[in-house]
Structure 1
């Protein structure tokens, strides 16, 4: 019956300890060992401080160590999960080698200081991810998806190469740290070329509109690979902008453009999600939107907030992908569309949302100091509160609580979430080698904020669903490459 959950029909899960291949077992233990080592390095970094480096080659700073911990943790979870998920697959060993290789490349990337090394690892990261997307070599759709992703990633690497070559030509520095130190001398056409190329490379890697096609075409990837992609790979755009923060923040106009790009993808991802019907497709569109928030925070000059967002999003999205099978099992089609705001038109519901949001903004301001002045920090606080409140309302909306009980449940979910965000943000900001680059608010900032809220509320109330033209446009925008579509189980049943 429509709207009712189905009963479980799965049999017993396979025992991964029986005849387990040596390579997956060894690599899983290796990744968890790297996680433990990363924790130890983080503790040492907090106690000793400074930058550990091989001059001109690698530089291990706070961002490096933090990303080591995050990357190895997510990778360890995915490795452990994959031992059962890939049980019996003829591609199991190859898959584990690619996952471990991806982990190693990312760990090296966040430590790389030399421009050539950084560019080579950026390209390698994309190529290994394309390999994971096309793991099953017997699927022509999987190979087509890998080829699509590879084209995007190579384009991102070319743009990065243009940016790095231009910065080297302008500053004479061959390291990222050297370029950042000389950022005060940048300007003019060469700077604009380099900074624009950096932003475009970050947009492609983070699947920002209009470069989101590779992400929506990657659904042939095994679910653990999707989890690694959405929890880690797409975050590379935020890391790139943070690494080159002194270059990006040279001009406030470019920063405003980055905010606009992020805002467009934040609302665009939610619009695209509204016409998706499959679980992984919805999660993919959600990632586009969430990466938009990350890019937007970088554009506001708060790189600590961008890194915080990518970490928290990584936890959330890894869980969502690894549990996506359960959603398919328990959910059946419904004859109507649910919205977070939906029918909530009462004065009480509106007042609860407004008061909760204002109080949450005050809490965030007290804990972080952001939002106390009329600058980009005020806009950061607004977006953090808005999105956290939306997430809290969504969580409460999907419970069986009565309408009255939901009014009280929203603050109970919202306030711990905003406190966690603020605490993590403060901790992350203390580790980063770059500070904030607060900018003055302009009329354009206000227009972006008002447009963002208006579109978001329109989506949540379902107003956009009244336009058939918009529906068709969104449906077309969410379509993956035609040669990557899986049309029947025979196309992907490797058994």
Structure 2
């Protein structure tokens, strides 16, 4: 009908070479230079004690330098990877320009001490990411996904801008540091309005439920852009909540609300991950779960843990997206009977999980006292237990190695997380409220019970045995219809 012929058989593609165009080469060199400068800033400011600041406009503190190092490193990886991946793209200069601009926007947001600069950088982050999602201008689905994301990000930017303007008016200062210092003088009604605005802005940017739709609809983005989105962009919610923690960290109801919101998104994201058949949306659902856990850590008062988590999640998710093409294959559904690990396997997995939890408590001290740290330690134990059961379920691993090597496989990652937690806590020691554990409440106990119940449900496969639940989760994980390709010919046309 269109006068074009389509060949669905395999085709031999010529080997592509890294783009030698000026913009890709210059931006790649530029972002690695920024990474080197960020490392130097860490050495001079965090280790040498020198403070960089322009009072009322820019403050380069420990949180700023950590974010700078993380975002420039991931952006450097994406730039370098894209030199080959995007070679031959008609709009390669625009792609690299937007990616570099996004990096600068994140760096500006992390250092901003003026409410106007903070809000402008936040909005610029969203608009550049929306442009990357809709990068393929001649692709209807890409344009629709970019437009959908842009509406979400404009809403987030509007909420944050209005909230910051309200706070500036109430505290009579336009400096973020000044607003934070005067948080205790805010009237209760106005404080709650500001807290609500900050929470909603963070939830939208981090794709928490019920705002996860833009993320699951964003798979039209080039894979390098998806890697940068999942490794960097969605983490902005945790950075925002950490920066403004003094506004709400002493308000138990606000902290409990964050715990509930984070737990709901963590559990829902994990449930959606179980029913998605496609690789990239599985990763998207995983990000929803991981961002929920990051916000949960903020609600528990462990903001340094949230920053450590976004660092580890960035490494993990960037690798998974950049290697996603290697995991795609055409397969037919097959019945996969549940493997029974037996009593020795169960004992080994529970022992490894408890050892991991005990090591986490010993390294960080979180969970040793009857406060919100108990819930954090419980989540670590459940995560270690799930990892242990996954190792036991892999048929390709010899049984003897499973039982002997299981504690090492499970405990070592827990130790890495614990030591990174402590390292980030040390770096952020001078940032207000980075460690503000709350009293153990009924909300924490209820969330803990819910996590245990969810683990048992997944372990027993209840999401598969209940058709109603399976269909409900599958429907909830669907992207916006206008962003979905329905035929292979559409891919060929694009």
Q: TM-score range by the shorter chain?
A: over 0.9
Q: Pick from 329, 336, 348: which aligns with 2:344?
A: 348
Q: Distance in 1 between matches of 2:251 and 2:230?
A: 31
Matched, 1:16 2:18: yes
Q: Structure 1 residues 10, 389: closer, same or farther in 2, change over 3 A?
A: farther
Matched, 1:457 2:453: no
Matched, 1:368 2:359: no
Q: Is the 8 A contact 1:139 1:492 kept in 2?
A: no
Unaligned runs of 5+ in 2: 1-9
Q: Distance in 2 between matches of 1:447 and 1:116?
A: 40
Matched, 1:63 2:63: yes
- Matching of residues 342-491 of structure 1 within 5 Å: 342-344=338-340, 346-391=342-387, 393-394=389-390, 397-398=393-394, 400-432=396-428, 433-434=431-432, 435-491=434-490
* Offset, 1:355: 1.9
Q: Distance in 2 between matches of 1:34 and 1:191?
A: 37
Q: Structure 1 residues 296, 50: closer, same or farther in 2, change over 3 A?
A: farther
What SS class does the counterpart of residue 110 from structure 1 fall into? helix
* Offset, 1:387: 2.0
In structure 1, the partner of 2:175 is: 175
Deviations 1:14-41 (A, max 9, x none): 1226xx2111111111111111111111
What SS class does the counterpart of residue 277 from structure 1 fall into? coil
* Offset, 1:360: 1.6
In structure 2, the partner of 1:303 is: 303
* Offset, 1:10: 6.5
Q: With the length of structure 2 as denominator, give the TM-score of the two structures.
A: 0.93
The number of residues matched between the two structures is 482
Q: Is the 8 A contact 2:273 2:286 kept in 1?
A: yes
- Matching of residues 84-95 of structure 1 within 5 Å: 84-95=84-95
Higher relative contact order (CA 8 A, sep 6+): 1
Q: With the length of structure 1 as denominator, give the TM-score of the two structures.
A: 0.93
* Offset, 1:95: 0.5
Q: Distance in 2 between matches of 1:60 and 1:280?
A: 36
What SS class does the counterpart of residue 150 from structure 2 fall into? helix
What SS class does the counterpart of residue 71 from structure 2 fall into? helix
Q: Which moved more, 1:346-355 or 1:376-385?
A: 346-355
Structure 1 runs (4+) greater than 6 angstroms displaced: none
Q: Distance in 2 between matches of 1:396 and 1:345?
A: 6
In structure 2, the partner of 1:81 is: 81
Q: Is the 8 A contact 1:184 1:250 kept in 2?
A: no
Q: Is the 8 A contact 1:204 1:212 kept in 2?
A: yes
Unaligned runs of 5+ in 1: 1-7
Quote the RMSD (CA, aligned, Å). 1.9
Q: Structure 1 residues 261, 193: closer, same or farther in 2, change over 3 A?
A: same
In structure 1, the partner of 2:210 is: 210
Q: Which moved more, 1:368-377 or 1:127-136?
A: 368-377
In structure 2, the partner of 1:137 is: 137
Q: Is the 8 A contact 1:133 1:142 kept in 2?
A: yes
